[in-house]
Amino acid sequence: MHGIYPLYRKEMADHFSSTRFLLISALIVMVGVLTASMVGMSIQEESKGLAKPTLLFLLLFTATGKLFSFIQFIGFFGPLMGIILGFDAINRERAQRTLSKLAAQPIYRDAIINAKFLAGVTMITIVLLAIILIISGLGIRLIGVVPGAEEIWRLFIYFVLSILYISFWLGISILFSVTFRTTATSALASLAIWIFFSFFLGLGSGLLADAIAPVQGSSVTPEMVLKHAQVQKIVSSISPMILYSDATSTILDPMRKTTSSLLLMGPLERLSLSRFQNPLPLLQSLYIVLPHLVSLVAITLLCFGICYAVFMRQEVRTI
Amino acid sequence: MSEEFIIETEGLTKRYGSYTAVNQLGLNIREGEIFGFLGPNGAGKTTTLLMFLGLTEPTAGKVRVCGLDPARDPIRVKEQVGYLPENVGFYDDLDALENLRFVARLNRVPDNESAKRIDELLSLVGLHEEAEKKVGAYSKGMRQRLGIAEVLVKEPRLVFLDEPTIGLDPDGTNRMLDLISSLSREKKITVFLSSHLLDQVQRICDRVGIMIKGNLVAVGPIEELARQRWGVDKEHHTLEEIYMKYFKEA
């Protein structure tokens, strides 16, 4: 596409030279190394004496060491990286009056926003890849287990899910950078959404479930409890965080066979869970998280689509 | 439509809701001339420029720039036309060279050719010494001159300059005006200059057009406009007198 390459190149150069990006990657890499070494050492302790430990490698990413697991960390702080990469994408150009100059060059207008989004996604990919490689490298040294093909595939799917998830937040923050004129407002708006999804939606889904399907009074039936749990699950699955954490914990942990809680399982499902204790094959895990994967792709594309449409429809006078 | 005009418009109109920014504009610009587009703030000058560039679509009427319809063919128009917006912005953390190289790439000028071109342009606008200084440290006058260099990187046939001398000191203004007239004389570039600083326009423009409240009320060489208004050829009518007369009538 016309003009996208020089723009992309410039965005990448800007990202690599920006201080805030270096800061956040340093933070993420540091925490990644810390969790990996903590978890790695505790696995080392526990697996001592086991004749043939299975699926140890993926535990590096899923086990909660002293504080939290790596996937919880990315679930919580990954959005921050997306927001930092995108919150001033368009309104900074507007503030320094370069946007109208770009519009006067022989490029399509969508090249501007596409290049920014692509450059952001590339940065996310680079940082995540770096962290995963650091953890794998450290982990292999610490626990001395080389990952098999299936574990690498699982890790790869996790990698793709994480890129999508953080790209969603990149999309949100670019959208706010298109709609708000000042960078401070767009940053705060993105952070507000982040806080809403990470803290309040959990609480809110409980409250909403209480209102729609109350579990109280003298005669509490199992149906009431079930309905309450269903409502809560539906509401909380609006949140990309819930989607992401459900999907990633299932894909990285072959012992997990469902994303629903014990309460919501049917009797047969519960029966099969107690009968068959073996890990799920990769393909079956993938089937379980496929709806989550599709939803993540959908909300990311939707978010970028809105952002694109808003940007393309803005009068040049205002840009 | 004939070949000798680089810009031709007919009944060009732009409305924002019920507000008419440009009303029935009919204007022809010859290749190679310096045209001064005058009018108070908010008269519709910038809106007209945006329609010429295909950055905003006309509500009604026809416009052709370099023989093309900017609303349908914006990319090809923008390949041949340079636009210096009012208070042009640069990437302040890059130096002049990097800013120009970026714009050259957007115009698909190959890097080895753009290096030579940029070198020449920086000498032309007198920024050769400061080429490796961050643009954030530039003075207003230097930024405007860099803006001219940036517009010329694509080797345009036609340039639109929106208030190019606003906010410059007298010396900076003079250098800028000399630069603009040399573009037309030496590089044979058509210059379309929008301004409300009348004495400056008078110094360098071949013809002027006066726009008030979206209407083009007069167009022609300055002496001719004076003749039209006063009947006799009086030498001492400045552009300012002509302009104020139109302004009061409107």
pLDDT tens by residue, A184-238:
999 999 999 999 988 888 788 888 888 887 877 777 787 888 888 888 888 877 7
Q: Give the residue, A293 or A25, on which the prediction is more confident.
A: A293
Whether A35 contacts A137, CB under 8 Å: no
Mean pLDDT, chain B, as a whole number? 88
Listed by start position, the domains of chain B span: 5-22+33-87+158-249
Cα–Cα dist B81/B155, whole Å: 9
Per-residue pLDDT of B83-141, as tens digits, reads 998 888 999 999 999 999 999 999 999 999 999 999 999 998 889 999 999 999 999 88
- What are the strands of the beta sheet with B81-84, ordered from one edge? B81-84, B158-162, B190-195, B34-38, B207-212, B215-220
With an 8 Å Cβ cutoff, are A104 and B88 in contact? no
Chain A environment of B75 (Cβ under 8 Å): 2, 106-108
Type and span of the H or E element at B115: helix B111-124
Which of the residues A105, A109, A313, A315 would you substitute to probe the B interface, choosing the one with the greatest number of B C-beta atoms within 10 Å? A105
Does residue B1 carry a pLDDT above 50? no
Q: Is the ipTM of this complex over 0.90?
A: no
Which of the residues B68, B100, B102 would you substitute to probe the A interface, choosing the one with the greatest number of A C-beta atoms within 10 Å? B102
Does residue A149 carry a pLDDT above 90? no
Cα–Cα dist B40/B21, whole Å: 13
Chains A, B: CB contacts under 8 A, how many? 61
Tokens 């370099």 identify what position?
B66
Query: What was the pLDDT predicted at A259?
Result: 66
Q: Give the residue, A121 or A54, on which the prediction is more confident.
A: A121
Choice among A108-122, A279-293, B19-33, B146-160 with the minimum mean pLDDT = A279-293
Q: B231: pLDDT confidence band, cut at 50, 70 and 90?
A: low
Does residue A119 carry a pLDDT above 90? yes
Does residue B146 carry a pLDDT above 50? yes
Does residue A21 carry a pLDDT above 70? yes
When CB atoms are compared, the residue of A105, A315, A316 closest to B106 is A105
Query: What was the pLDDT predicted at A229?
Result: 83
Type and span of the H or E element at A173: helix A149-179
Domain B5-22+33-87+158-249: assigned CATH number: 3.40.50.300
Q: B235: pLDDT confidence band, cut at 50, 70 and 90?
A: low
Chain B environment of A7 (Cβ under 8 Å): 106
Tell me the average pLDDT across B160-181: 88
Tell me the average pLDDT across A278-299: 85
Tell me the average pLDDT across A144-166: 89
Choice among A170-174, A254-258, B60-64, B126-130 with the minimum mean pLDDT = A254-258
List CB contacts of A180: < 8 A, sequence separation 6 or more. Answer: A91, A186, A189
Number of Cβ within 10 Å of residue B234's Cβ equals 12
What the block records as the tokens of B70 is: 């900017």
- Structure pTM? 0.87
Tell me the average pLDDT across A32-58: 77
Long-range contacts: A259-265, Cβ < 8 Å, 24+? A259/A288, A259/A289, A259/A292, A260/A233, A261/A229, A261/A233, A263/A225, A263/A226, A263/A229, A264/A226, A264/A229, A264/A230, A264/A233
Tell me the average pLDDT across A81-99: 91
Cα–Cα dist B29/B33, whole Å: 8
SS3 (DSSP) at B220? strand
